[in-house]
Amino acid sequence: MKKTIGILGGISAESTVVYYDRIIKLYYEQYKDYYYPEIIIYSLNFQKFTDYENSGDHDGYIQEIMRGIEGLQNAGADFIIMAANSPHAVYEEVNSLAKVPVLSIVEVTATFAKQQGLHKLLLMGIRFTMQSSFYQTVCERHDLKVFVPSSSDQDEINRIIFEELTIGKFTEESKQRLLSIATKYDVDGVILGCTELPLILEQSDTDVRLLNTLELHVQAALEYSLRH
């Protein structure tokens, strides 16, 4: 019996759509049938969610995330994936409050990076993620060092994500700007620590190792659903 996947999405809607699409397609690629895992999506209010991030309202932020998680639990989800990197800033808290397992995108990414023999990683994402420490904390347990771009580069990445990627706007100019940031630092690999970044950056675009957190999370979710 496949476990029902609960996707906490809407953060943003652009990447949530890709999560659903990739789970379905990845399953078919592997099994060539239509016995897909059942999937439930709870789409949060993106502006409300980001307002909590920007205001620093830690308790309100957790309550908003838990509202979605409880909705998924009540709908029958056997486990949950938060379809974004930033809510993992409070992963330990929400995982302890949830009544079903919550699969961490950060743990999945760190485990993969370690398996690939990487040591120094650049974290790209929204400003909230880059200025938090949750990636560093988890990666340190895997003997990985995580660095972040300069303040000006953070501003540019954050602008491109919120003003373009989250509304489905993908330009060659922004792609090249992101690539220039990804390749200017002395690291072994780059964490695409926002699930919108893989929508514009692909491994074929650069020789620098890109860690596609969305794809790694999807693979882990499908494996968990089938394994259990």
Does 157 share its domain with 64? no
What value does the mean pLDDT of the chain take? 97
- pLDDT confidence of residue 179: 98
214 close to 195: Cβ distance less than 8 angstroms: yes
- Rounded Cα–Cα distance for residues 8 and 132 (Å): 21
- Rounded Cα–Cα distance for residues 86 and 169 (Å): 21
Does 148 share its domain with 50? no
Read off the tokens for 204.
């074929």
Does 118 share its domain with 90? no
Q: Domain with 70 in it: what CATH number?
A: 3.40.50.1860
Residue with tokens 């220039």: 180
Does 24 share its domain with 43? yes
Does 124 share its domain with 195? yes
Does 111 share its domain with 205? yes
For 64, the domain range is 5-104+216-227
- Rounded Cα–Cα distance for residues 148 and 157 (Å): 11
Q: Could you read off the pLDDT of 95-121 as tens digits, one per residue?
A: 999 999 999 999 999 999 999 999 999
Q: Identify the bridge partners of residue 80 per DSSP, sorted by sequence position.
A: 6, 102
Q: Residue 55: pLDDT above 90?
A: yes
Does 84 share its domain with 66? yes
Confidence bin at 1 (pLDDT 50/70/90): confident
- When divided into structural domains, the chain yields a total of 2
